Chains A and B, each alone.
Chain A
Amino acid sequence: MNRSFLNQFWINSSLFLAFVIDIYVTPEMFILWKPVLTLLVLIYWNMALPDRVGIFEALFFGLLLDVSTGTLLGLHAALFVLITYICQRFFYQFRVSPMWQQSVTLFFLFFIFKLAFGFDFNDMAPGLNLSDRNYLLDSFLFAILSSLIWIPMFFILREFRRRKIRI
């Protein structure tokens, strides 16, 4: 089989596996602040192989998450596309920075990501906005957990890349 096709297959498989874990496997006790593994994996591939992952993957998995989680159609997708762009724009700087620095950068990225879901686009509950203390706390915990999970995730995906994707 064509090497390039096989590499693409492994990348997409890892993204799909992360999506399945996000939707079906993660325990419900962390439901309010569980990390979005699909996004973490997408960020990793954008850092490691920016020429193999792009807008199509971001759009596809974003829309898949939208229809599976019941969020506004296109919200995950738009955020995924923007994060993909940011990652690809700054991956040279990000890739060489130490792990703690990567985690801190991702913390802010994830915090903003979570806050975007606090907007009441349909104006269904007047008074419900980002100033909601509980939601800010949930977003903070989500960002902390996601940035902490980035470290093991990075090493797991790097090992996976070295074994399966020989570039």
Chain B
Amino acid sequence: MLKREHKVSYISSEAIFAIPAMKRSRVVFAVIFCICLMISDVKFETSSTLRLVSHEILKPISLVIDFPGYVADITSSFISARVTLDKRVKTLEEENLKLKATNQLAKKLAIDLERINTLWSSSNLNKESFKISKKNLLSSNIFQPLLVLDIERDHDIKINNSVISEKGLVGRISNVGISTAEVFLIQDIRSSIPVVSGTSSIHSTLKGFGLERTGQLSYVKKTSKFYIGEKIFTSGLGGIFPQNILVGEIISIDDPADSEFLRIEIDFSQTPINQDFFLIYKHE
């Protein structure tokens, strides 16, 4: 029997079979090791490289997790294909007749659409610069949330490319790996982005305060005129984010007596929670 597995009673000299607790010295050593890691992370951001490597290594697991859903989708579509196909052919024939009738009315709409297309192409967002990307994971870290996106292997995505959803700005690429990219979210407490208000056109900086929390406009003078419900857009200053992308909406304006600035809370227009696809915009 190993020595550590029992003690001997000093009174009866009998073996006492008890599992000893772990040694305190080892616990202290482990905690000191962790504190060293924390300090190195704070000072030199050592975790960013490790994170990227770990996402690449763990990516096959996410694929394995997605696999049952993929198989279920294929199976259900295969089973229902024949039955639904007959029904669909009949409904499509009816639809076709209706479409022919409404086609006459669509001519007017086509002219409007042409105008919209002209407007779209005149905007400084180049639609060719967008790349769609699927979410790999979103961490539960409230103050420094981490969004990881799957990207193609032969990508040309760079650090600081903007990430946008259909509801507004999500963040920017902070780390790029072989097949994954990390997104620095605008809700992150380290985030600070230049913004401009929609109606009053006043420039400011928007700071994040964590996931599912409101952001705050910083250093806004008390003479500035903001309105509740006013939309906030990216100003494009700094050159990282393209301008005029919706960021959020003003929900409260406070005038604290002990501060020389206004406290303006912003409700972000989008949240990465329960959203699977994002657009990466390659801002030139």
The chain A residues found within 8 Å of chain B, CB to CB, are 20, 23-26, 28-29, 31-32, 34, 50-51, 54-55, 58-59, 62-64, 66-75, 77-78, 81-82, 84-85, 88-89, 117-118, 120-122, 124-125, 128, 134-135, 138
Write the chain B residue with the least CB distance to A51. B19
Say yes or no: B62 contacts A24, CB within 8 Å. yes
Other-chain contact of A70, B26, B65, B145, B189 (Cβ < 8 Å): B145
Other-chain contact of A29, B35, B182, B274 (Cβ < 8 Å): B274
Say yes or no: A28 contacts B274, CB within 8 Å. yes
Given contacts A34-B140, A70-B144, contact A84 B22 (CB under 8 A): yes
* Distance between Cα atoms of A159 and B139 in the complex (Å): 30
Chain B positions 16 through 34: 1 when the CB is less than 8 Å from some CB of chain A, otherwise 0: 0001011010110011011
Say yes or no: A75 contacts B38, CB within 8 Å. yes
Closest-CB distance, A18 to chain B (whole angstroms): 13
B104 at the interface (CB under 8 A from A): no
Say yes or no: B189 contacts A120, CB within 8 Å. yes
Chain B positions 264 through 281: 1 when the CB is less than 8 Å from some CB of chain A, otherwise 0: 000000000110000000
New contact pairs (9) apart from A24-B65, A74-B37, CB-CB < 8 Å: A31-B212, A34-B140, A55-B26, A67-B50, A72-B42, A73-B38, A81-B30, A82-B31, A118-B143
B84 at the interface (CB under 8 A from A): no
* Distance between Cα atoms of A10 and B257 in the complex (Å): 61
* Distance between Cα atoms of A63 and B51 in the complex (Å): 10
Say yes or no: A71 contacts B144, CB within 8 Å. yes
Q: Which 6 pairs show the lowest CB-CB distances between chains A and B?
A: A70-B146, A74-B37, A78-B34, A69-B139, A74-B34, A73-B47
Q: How many residues of B sit at the interface, in one of the four size bands?
A: 35 or more
Say yes or no: A81 contacts B34, CB within 8 Å. yes
* Distance between Cα atoms of A64 and B34 in the complex (Å): 13
Say yes or no: B137 contacts A73, CB within 8 Å. no
Given contacts A31-B211, A32-B212, contact A66 B189 (CB under 8 A): no
List 6 contacting pairs A-B, 8 Å CB cutoff, sorted by A: A23-B58, A25-B65, A29-B274, A32-B140, A67-B51, A128-B209
Closest-CB distance, B260 to chain A (whole angstroms): 16
Chain B positions 39 through 62: 1 when the CB is less than 8 Å from some CB of chain A, otherwise 0: 011100011001100110010011
Say yes or no: A72 contacts B47, CB within 8 Å. yes
Closest-CB distance, B137 to chain A (whole angstroms): 6
Q: Which of A31, A120, A124, A138 has the most CB of B within 10 A?
A: A31
Say yes or no: A28 contacts B138, CB within 8 Å. yes
* Distance between Cα atoms of A50 and B38 in the complex (Å): 27
Write the chain A residue with the least CB distance to B49. A67
Closest-CB distance, B61 to chain A (whole angstroms): 6
Given contacts A72-B38, A82-B31, contact A88 B22 (CB under 8 A): yes
* Distance between Cα atoms of A70 and B62 in the complex (Å): 17
B102 at the interface (CB under 8 A from A): no
Say yes or no: B209 contacts A125, CB within 8 Å. yes
Say yes or no: B31 contacts A68, CB within 8 Å. no
B36 at the interface (CB under 8 A from A): yes
B231 at the interface (CB under 8 A from A): no
Q: Which of A69, A118, A134, A138 has the most CB of B within 10 A?
A: A69
